[in-house]
Structure 1
Amino acid sequence: MLLIVGTVRLPPENLERARPAMLAMAQASRAEVGCLEYGYAEDVFVPGLIHVKELWSDQAALDAHFASAHIQTWRAAWPALEIGDRDLRVYEVGQPRVT
């Protein structure tokens, strides 16, 4: 499995305009074959900081995701929303354990 975690930033005043694009991206991604989890979360302490978490079954699923039309639409929205300072990392992970 592949785990993607990290953050993106945008001006806090653009967050309301970003929500529909973020929702569309999350819904389309969650419907993809191999997407086990996909989400965005606002940081409660830093306005405009969005935490990203994705879990993919394998590299083929992630490659298909990166080639999808909805990711192209999402990326095309970034300049108008002033989304920047992306810090996303991919990790290979095993099966989760309950703590």
Structure 2
Amino acid sequence: MLIVLTRARAVTGSRDRLVTAAVEMARDTRGAPGCVSYTFAADLEDPDVIVCTEVWADRAALDAHLAHPRTSTFLTRVDGLTEAVPEATLHTTTG
């Protein structure tokens, strides 16, 4: 399995638009082939920091998600809503 963790800080005044886009992205992605889990959450200490946790069955499922039109649509919608390029890490696990 692959776990992708992404963290981004919303630009002042853009949190609501970022959250709206994230909710739609999560809803559209959860049923994708190989998607085990896909969630967004706010940091408990800083609600302007949004964290995405993705769990994928394998690399092929993640690659298909990244190539899907919904992903490029989401990235276009959130362009300019975060202070910097989101920080992402990829972890591989067994079991």
SS of the aligned residue for 1:33 comes to coil
Q: What is the number of residues matched between the two proteins?
A: 95
Matches within 5 A, 1:8-87: 8-82=8-82, 84-87=84-87
Q: TM-score, normalised by structure 2?
A: 0.89
Looking at CA atoms only, which structure, 1 or 2, has the larger radius of gyration? 1
Residue 18 of structure 1 and its aligned partner are, at CA, apart by 1.9
Residue 11 of structure 1 and its aligned partner are, at CA, apart by 2.0
Amino acid in structure 2 at the alignment position of 1:56:
W
Q: Equivalents in 2 of 1:10, 1:93: separation in Å?
A: 30
Question: In 2, are the aligned partners of 1:42 and 1:51 still within 8 Å (CA)?
Answer: yes
| Residue ranges of structure 1 left out of the alignment (5+ in a row) | none
Amino acid in structure 1 at the alignment position of 2:70:
H
Kindly provide the CA deviation profile for residues 50-90 of structure 1, in whole angstroms up to 9, marking residues without a partner as x.
11110000011000000111101111012242453411111
Q: Equivalents in 2 of 1:57, 1:79: separation in Å?
A: 28
